Every structure is written in structure tokens, then in C-alpha cells.
Structure 1
């Protein structure tokens, strides 16, 4: 009590440095595809609500209105906010490692499913598989009681001491550009390549091509062979599963490179799928996106819903894990 008999207010609890206005942080922003996705943001201010553990942040790469350039601002609890992790040098990963992959302006949690050549990895997130270069991956860490778990090693601590937030933001920008590079084909490497290489397919190459008929709401991918390039990034292709109307041979068609991709790498098919798994079904000669609606009693057959809501009964051998970028799934 003061000498005048009035209580003295307790001093406000001081926020940790990373929650101070202007600090660059990562926020656990709920995503329809993956709830464990984190996006870079800036602390703007404490929220005006009665809960003093909430903060207003402005995202650096998410927009309220992209046309006007207005970036998304939102209020979050402090438990959903963590410091910006220090830059991590490229490292070797092994199958089963829990990692985060940078794609579509955020870091998504998953695990390494396969190790490929040239520092490339198959990244698994739920029932989806994506291909990433090592520069778009980092070891998954949790911010717990003011410390990183697992702790940073000596090389990362050295980077943290000498590096600045500005360099980290440059790294985020580089990752953003790399994640958007390419044609958007599924299981395409996230490392940047030149446009010429992305669109270059040699005569006789085995590829997959997507159907471009209709409104594009239910795309499928079909095995095909490059017959020859015809110029302007267009190719004459021969389907390997679709035949001509008179059944005299396999159908040939001219297509642009945006609808052609290399065959996806082999991914082992699990012994059993379960309800709500996102998969692809071999149907009418192509691979179509679908969801397991029901596992039938003999465990070797399923009912699946296609993207156009048609229901289809299929065998286990006609299914494969869905393979695609986050944008496509």
C-alpha cells in the first residue's frame, strides 16, 4: 500500500526478446493441408484483448489481398509463436528423419521417406509424397521453455552468432523463389532449374502427361513416350495406355511441356490403405486423385471417391500413394 492508501500496480511482465514489436518470428498458422505448418511473421503489438499472452503478427509472405499487396495480419497466442530458427547449413538426412520442408511460403513438418541421388529426398506428409532438394529441408526442432529441442550443434551456434536476421530473411526469400520454380508438376524437384531444362524432353523419353480436356477439375496422369519435339516447347507424344478409336495403335497427340512431367520415382505401396487416405487410382489408363471412402471386407478392395465425387470400387494393386505438391492436393 502507498502512503495514501492506494495499491501500487505490479509492474507488467516483460516480454521475452522474440515477442517484442518488430521481432521476426515463426507462427503456427493452421493450414487445410497440414496443421503443422509455420510461416514467417513480424510481431506488431500485444493484442488489445484481456489475455496478455496474445499478439498481433503480420505475415511476411501471406497476403490478405495480393493484388493490393496487403499482407495478412492476425492475432495469435504466444504458444503458437516461436523465435526465427537460426540458419542451418545443408546436412545429410536419412530415412525416418523428422524434418521440415519449405514450400508455398511455409515450413511443413513431415519425414524422410526415401533418399535419392544428388541430395534429393522423398518427403512424406501424411499420405502425400513430395520431392525436395536438400536446400529446401531442415531438421525439425521444437521451441520448449526457451530452448531448441534438439539443441543446436556447434556449427549452427557459430552461424547464429555471426549471422543476422537480415540474412535469414534473404534465405527465406531464396527458398520462396526455389519453391515456386518449375512447372508445378507433381514430384518435381524444388531446387531451381532453368526454364529450358524444365521444358526439355528427349525423343523416346518415357514421361507422364496430364489430360487437358474439360474444365480441368478432375485431372489424371497417363504414361506416354516422347515421339519428337515440334517446337515452341511442344511435343508429339504417344500414349502407352490409350488407343485410337479404330484400335489400330496407340493414340498420339501434340502437347505443351507444362502438361508433361518425368515419371515419378518408385515409392513403395503400403500393405494396407485406410479410410480417408489420399491416394491415386489407376482408372481408364491414367492415375486419378481420390480418397479412400471404405475398406471392403476382404481388405484387398476399396471404395474410393474421385475428385468429381464419382465412387469407384478398385483393387489394392490399382492404388498408389498420392504424389504431388501441396498446391495440387
Structure 2
């Protein structure tokens, strides 16, 4: 706890964040999980210091809802994750809450962790890296705090949509990086197309269940409305970028991975592990929307991608520039 206590002391000294807003996880039954995640993400921010996001602060907010936020105060770059996010994801992805069919049970036997654990880490990584992207963007909106799940749906802003889709892109690249690091560690030279495909399906299934749990998913699909893109649009972007990154990074393996096949299998996998009617219902609704709105979703993604690719302040643009610099 010492590292977290030191961080809290800095927060109280250097910002206006009240002590009552900060979650002290020492007495939590999930103390180890909170501590491990904090140390991992604190180090992750430091590893990205070259994007000019230091000094940084990171803490858990004393809230049992599912949310996270990025902000800037007194020249400090700040991420907070609601304590409820950790607890919810742990509960949702307990092994007993992720019933596997024979195919994925056999695949799990090839891994050194459970598929439930992979799904928990994917969803949590996605949350954190999305907020890290907002820090890297350094938009003017950062001063007023950017939330992952807004409590209200305000009027449409193309700037906000672009920021959110860019943060999803950056987060997908980071999730893809972790996925491939794990694949190389787990399979080594025995890595094959089927193993990679199943890992990607598990990761995309986790992101699918997480994003579809957002309150805004209850709204009919929309495009140029509200501050955040509809979760169905976001999922399409996330899957595209995770698969695309993995294919590009594994060119030497000449893998044949089809995005549409992975989307279908991710939906099927997520449906198969859903142990309650609500989860199954939202996945079935997602499948129906995808069937009806595929053309409109693709058109909106193309439109926003043109803006993303030419906006140098965005996190994915900066990521790509850094990759090019390192490969010179």
C-alpha cells in the first residue's frame, strides 16, 4: 500500500481533490487486485511519459458505479478509476460466471491463466488505456474532465466523438499489444492462426460485453447525436483495430484472419458465456442492429476516420509517429 499512500498524499497536497473522494482499498477483500492494478497502471503512465503527460496522478475514486475519468489540474495529468469498476469486472468475469463450451475449455487448457482472467484484464486494460489516451490528446476538454460513461447525454459534438473514437483506437492498440505479448509468451514458435484467433475472440468478446453494459446502449442507435458515439459504433471500431493491429504485427506468420468472421465468433462466444438473460438479450439486440445498420455504421466510421487520420493532436496519430520514430 505504500506506493498508493504516497500517491494519495501527493494528490491531497497538489490538487483540489478531496480526501473523501479517494478510495482506500486496504480493508477491501479485493485489496490485492486493487494494488496490483494500481502498480501496473502507474508504471504504464510512466512508460508513456514521452507523450508529455508528467507529472501524473492516479487513484481509485470512492464510487461503486462503473466509470473512469481523465482530467488535468495544476499541470498534473490525472486518471481516476471508480472502485466499482474493479469490483464489477471481477464479479462479471469470475470463472464460474464464464461457462465455456468444449472448444474453449480445451483452448483454456493450453493457457497459463483462465479465460475469465483474460477477459477481466482486457476490460480493465481497455478502461485504463482509454483514459490514458485522453491525457495524451491534451484537448481543452481535459480541463473539465472527460468521463468514460457520462451520467447525462448532452448535445452532439463531433469533436467529442472524435476524441472518444480516438481514445478507443489507442486503447485497442494497447490491448492488441498486450494480447500479442501474451501469445508470444504462451505459444512461442508454436503460435498458429487458430490460437491467435481464439485469443482475439476472447478479447473482443470481453470488450463487447463491457461496452454493451453502458447505459447509452439502451438508446436506439444514433450517429450524430450526444457526446459519445453509440456503443455499437464503438465496438465495431474496437474490433477492427484489435484485429488489424494483430494482423499487421504478425505478418511473418501469414495468418488468415477475417474481421467479419471474428465479429461473428466474438458475438457467439459472448452469447455462450452469458449466464444471465440480460447479457444474452443485449448481445442478441447487438446482432440485430449490426444486421440492419452495417452500411450506416461503416459510413460513419469512414467519415470520422478521415478526420482522425489528419488530426495530429490525437493519441493514435502520436502512437503511430512514435512507432515510426523507433523503427528508423
TM-score by length of 1: 0.26
TM-score by length of 2: 0.26
Higher fraction of helix = 2
Q: Which has the higher contact order (CA 8 A, sep 6+)?
A: 2
